[in-house]
Amino acid sequence: MTTSVSEQDIARANAIKEEANVFFANKKFDEAVEKYTEAIEVNPNVAAFYANRAFAHTKLEAYGAAILDGDKAVEVDPKYAKGYYRRGVGKYALARYKEAAKDFRIVLKFAPNDRDAKLKLDDCDKTVARMAFEKAIASNEVVKKVSDSIDTQSIIVEDTYDGVRIDDGKVTKEFVDDMIERFVGQKKIHRRYAYEIILQARKYFSEQASLVDVEIPKEHKLTICGDVHGQFYDFNNIFKLNGRPSETHAYLFNGDFVDRGSFSLEIILTLFAYKLLYPTGMYLTRGNHETDDMNKVYGFEDEVKAKFSETMFKMFSETFATLPLAHLVQKKIFVVHGGLSSRDDVTLEEIRNIDRITKGQPGQGGLMSELLWADPQFLPGRSPSARGVGQKFGPDVTENFCKMNDIDMVIRSHEVKHQGYQVEHNGRCVTIFSAPNYCDSVGNKGAYINVTPETEKGYKLDYVQFDAVEHPKTQPYANKFRGGF
């Protein structure tokens, strides 16, 4: 239904849209969304306004909002190809491949030469067929774990390999130091040692609860980091600025180690190796990007296949399923990647006992998914998430969770913050994000939190910000599917 709009308002809406375009071009996507919204309020009859806002939402990873804007664009103009395309990209990003394929087919009906729509449609069709095949196999026989079939001792290490080796299955400081230097120089470790690291890490994590207690001994320190997203050189810079993990200096990386950046493999192998070297010096929380759906779209799967093999990616997938979902620091700080549940009665013990390994992939609903996907909001209560998965939770929800579980606060990650961190919900909820200049485009700072024991409160928090460093210029592994992202 078309709304009556004056010529003056049409001109004013177009002018506002141009302001939004400038914000978008300068990568100020929040401001762009606000301006596109203003243009829509003045003139709701232009499908392109909704499609443009959908694109800005996509840049903010608000895929649910992008889908809704795609809906509105095609409602205004059923023949507007870009509306279907933006909606399809939102669904594609959320691994809703069948639905996305329908939209890309409509795009090609109106724009037969749209190469990106063809690529995405082809990928959707292949993925749907592969998933159907895997489901059929799984229903007829017990699918064996790849990790049960790898014999690292049978993998020959060639004499030409010039790196430090793992002897007797034991990861040493010498090996980790050498591995990091190889990674800095864009060299790989031998696949035998990569497999050994992954297998040992999987065994270690599979024996842990879904909620892990972390105690900081006197004169020790714990550093909590947020998303690092494949930005290995920024990740390594944290250690240069703050010191490497040791027996007295532990790190907790709070999910989203992989995807987006081009050096996810280097980060995850470093984290796993440090876990094996210092079991109480490295803690890892699963993020929403340590999942098959995200790894397919955002690059980690393609990166591992390019650098090693599909078998190794499957090994990582099985290992990600063993990662803990949360940590409890000093009995008072709940650390989780996303946030809080849609229920008010969730206890720490319920989280501790989640059978994450059997479930494997978190899906797009339920407690496990919510812990990985939720975001805080300013208003009280809960509301649907613009991401299309999970929900938003207000300060009252955080307050209730803390009081019921006798804790002080929630530290979470999952969202880029311009200053690298943000304190909200009356100090009860902190977001920490450790990928500066996210995706080489956002211009944000990174941050981490140093936690030290204190007699009176039990802990002290110190926030440290840092800037991005130079890194080799490489093409993101997800680039071939990112035309609309």
pLDDT tier, 484 (very low <50, low <70, confident <90, very high otherwise): very low
Mean pLDDT estimate for the chain: 94
112, 183: one domain: no
367, 222: one domain: yes
257, 370: one domain: yes
92, 174: one domain: no
| pLDDT one-digit tens code per residue, 301-336 | 999 999 999 999 999 999 999 999 999 999 999 999
**Structural domain span for residue 97:** 7-137
- When pLDDT is averaged across residues 195-221 and rounded to a whole number, the result is 97
Residue with tokens 């532990």, as numbered in its chain: 250
| pLDDT one-digit tens code per residue, 81-131 | 999 999 999 999 888 999 999 999 999 999 999 999 999 999 899 989 988
| pLDDT one-digit tens code per residue, 38-95 | 999 999 999 999 999 999 999 988 999 999 999 999 999 999 999 999 999 999 988 8
- Beta-sheet pairing, 382-384 with 421-424: unpaired
Task: Give me the pLDDT at residue 143, please.
Answer: 65
Percent of the chain with pLDDT over 70: 97
Positions marked catalytic? 289
Is residue 1 included in any domain, yes or no? no
**Burial zone of 313 (CB within 10 Å; 0-12 exposed, 13-18 middle, 19+ buried):** buried
Q: Is the dihedral angle over the CA atoms 84, 88, 90, 91 positive or is it negative?
A: positive
217, 118: one domain: no
Which CA distances in Å does 420 have to 231, 232, 249, 395, 469? Answer: 15, 17, 22, 21, 15
- Domain boundary residue, one of 79, 102, 137: 137
- Domain boundary residue, one of 137, 165, 186: 137
229, 294: one domain: yes
Cβ atoms of 476 and 299 closer than 8 Å? yes
The CATH number linked to 82 is: 1.25.40.10
Residue with tokens 């969202």, as numbered in its chain: 415
The residue type of 398 is T
Which CA distances in Å does 427 have to 124, 226, 383, 401, 451? Answer: 43, 18, 21, 14, 16
The DSSP line for 6-68 is -HHHHHHHHHHHHHHHHHHHTT-HHHHHHHHHHHHHH-TT-HHHHHHHHHHHHHTT-HHHHHH
∠398-402-403 over CA atoms, to 5°?
120
Of 99, 39, 102, residue with least CA distance to 63: 99
Is residue 212 included in any domain, yes or no? yes
∠330-333-339 over CA atoms, to 5°?
150
- When pLDDT is averaged across residues 22-39 and rounded to a whole number, the result is 94
118, 225: one domain: no
pLDDT tier, 456 (very low <50, low <70, confident <90, very high otherwise): confident
pLDDT tier, 364 (very low <50, low <70, confident <90, very high otherwise): confident
Is residue 146 included in any domain, yes or no? no
**Burial zone of 298 (CB within 10 Å; 0-12 exposed, 13-18 middle, 19+ buried):** buried
Is residue 370 included in any domain, yes or no? yes
∠101-104-107 over CA atoms, to 5°?
155
- Looking at the chain, the number of H-run helices and the number of E-run strands are 18, 14
Instruction: For the chain, give the number of residues.
Output: 485
Q: How many domains does the chain have?
A: 2
128, 189: one domain: no
Is residue 147 included in any domain, yes or no? no
The CATH number linked to 368 is: 3.60.21.10
61, 165: one domain: no
Is residue 236 included in any domain, yes or no? yes
Task: Give me the pLDDT at residue 142, please.
Answer: 59
Q: Which residues pair with residue 223 across a beta bridge? A: 251, 450
Cβ atoms of 434 and 452 closer than 8 Å? no
186, 119: one domain: no
Query: Which ranges of 256-409 does DSSP label H, i.e. alpha helix?
Result: 264-277, 292-298, 300-307, 310-320, 348-352, 356-359, 367-373, 395-404
Task: Give me the pLDDT at residue 138, please.
Answer: 64
What pTM was estimated for this model as a whole? 0.91
Is residue 379 included in any domain, yes or no? yes
Is residue 270 included in any domain, yes or no? yes
Task: Give me the pLDDT at residue 1, please.
Answer: 63
- Domain boundary residue, one of 137, 169, 199: 137
Neighbours of 129 (CB within 10 A): 11
Of 411, 410, 414, residue with least CA distance to 400: 410
356, 417: one domain: yes
132-162 in b/e burial notation, b at 16+ Cβ within 10 A?
A: eeeeeeeeeeeeeebbeebebeeeeeeeeee
Q: In what order do the strands lie in the sheet with 375-376?
A: 375-376, 391-393, 382-384
92, 166: one domain: no
Q: Which residues pair with residue 336 across a beta bridge? A: 326
* Ramachandran sector of residue 231 (left: φ over 0; alpha: ψ -120 to 50; beta: rest): beta
218, pLDDT greater than 80: yes
481, pLDDT greater than 50: no
